[in-house]
Amino acid sequence: MRIVIKVGTSTLTTKEGLLNEQYIFNLAKEVFSLREQGHKILIVSSGAVSAGKTHLCIKDKHKTLREKQAFAAVGQPLLMSAYSKAFAEYNNSVSQILLTRDVFDRRANYINVRNTLNTLIENDIIPIINENDSVSIDEINFGDNDMLSALVALAINAEKLIIFTDVDGVYNGTPKASSLIPKIDHITEEIEKLTSSTSSSGRGTGGMKTKIIAAKIATASGVETIITNGTKLNLLKEIVLGSFIGTTILASKKHLEAKKSWIAFSKKPKGTIFVDQKAEDFLLNKGKSLLAVGITKISGAFKRGDTINIANAQTKKDFARGLTNYDSDILEKVKGKKSQEIKNIVDAGEGEIIHRDNLVIISN
């Protein structure tokens, strides 16, 4: 089984912000025994910013973006050194992969990273993946490593994504054993409301909200997601065997095929096309491509090949995503027009604005 394990800063570091080397040793031990059983493991690890900051003895809580980027540059080699040391105890090699969001945007880069990850795990080398924080800027960041771990799980067709955190799972109310939700079939709006809080430890970035967003993406693409307490490393084997420890969010039965989940989740949307009710019905219920005639408004500046959200013009709610055949400035000229008319306005190669094969329904 291919398993992505995500470990957050609050799990990996001490209260003082130092890397918890003992924890990393224990993780290596558990991962080693999973590998002995034939599983392929990838680790998405945070902790670089915190480790770098503490290493430099910086106490101040509020730091600028460039300072955080500098801390990551100091902390990332410390993090890798801790992983290398721990896995060497079990004769396992580790490798470092640092990613930025834009790598997932371009299909060629995406395929390259996928090939590298596959080559590493096929050769029993454990990828330790983190965001390349030192070069990431707003437009190209993942936001948090929960999102990164979901996109990695999609890229390598993982069966499970295990997100380790500092609570036991998702709670229905105040955190106590009786309110822990062991199994979620489908992430509803209610679950999203329950989990709208952000990180409480002050060291990590996400909190439960970003974990649920990551789980939504992973499960829609066929990856079962488990949100569980990272301190209970000894339960990892049981989790992999399917025991409900923490909260398990089941993979959607009718999940998206690989290319469509890349369009829907891995590529960052660059704009929105608003359509009338008739066009929405055609897309949702008749399996049609998007034509110019149903488009009422366009927002954002985008190019042919970018991922675009499709929203209902009245409700403003996104219901699909797809790869546009036209740049936004051309769409401004052709919106609302019939396919024959378009041919007189632009040199239209394709009649469709977004072809059905490149279109994904994200809710209905």
* Contact positions vs ligand GLU (CB under 6 A): 8-9, 46-50, 130-131, 133, 144-145, 204-206
* Least CB distance to ligand GLU at residue 70 (A): 12
225: closest CA among 201, 252, 254?
A: 252
* Least CB distance to ligand GLU at residue 129 (A): 10
Q: Which CB, 74 or 311, lies closer to ligand GLU?
A: 74
Q: Which residues contact 218 (CB under 8 A, 6 or more apart)?
A: 150, 153, 154, 158, 161, 224, 225, 251
Please state at what angle helix 145-155 crosses helix 107-122, rounded to 10 degrees: 80
Q: Which CB, 54 or 266, lies closer to ligand GLU?
A: 54
* Least CB distance to ligand GLU at residue 205 (A): 4
Q: Which CB, 147 or 290, lies closer to ligand GLU?
A: 147
Q: Which CB, 9 or 100, lies closer to ligand GLU?
A: 9
Q: Are 83 and 117 in contact (CB under 8 A)?
A: no
Q: How many CA atoms lie within 13 A of 241 on its CB side?
A: 8
Q: Which tokens belong to 350?
A: 């394709």
According to DSSP, residue 230 is labeled T
Q: Which CB, 50 or 247, lies closer to ligand GLU?
A: 50
Q: Which CB, 204 or 246, lies closer to ligand GLU?
A: 204
Rounded CA separation 336/248 (Å): 45
* Least CB distance to ligand GLU at residue 333 (A): 42
Q: Which tokens belong to 159?
A: 């069966």
* Least CB distance to ligand GLU at residue 68 (A): 8
Q: Which tokens belong to 263?
A: 């369009």
* Least CB distance to ligand GLU at residue 309 (A): 24
Q: Which tokens belong to 192?
A: 């999203």
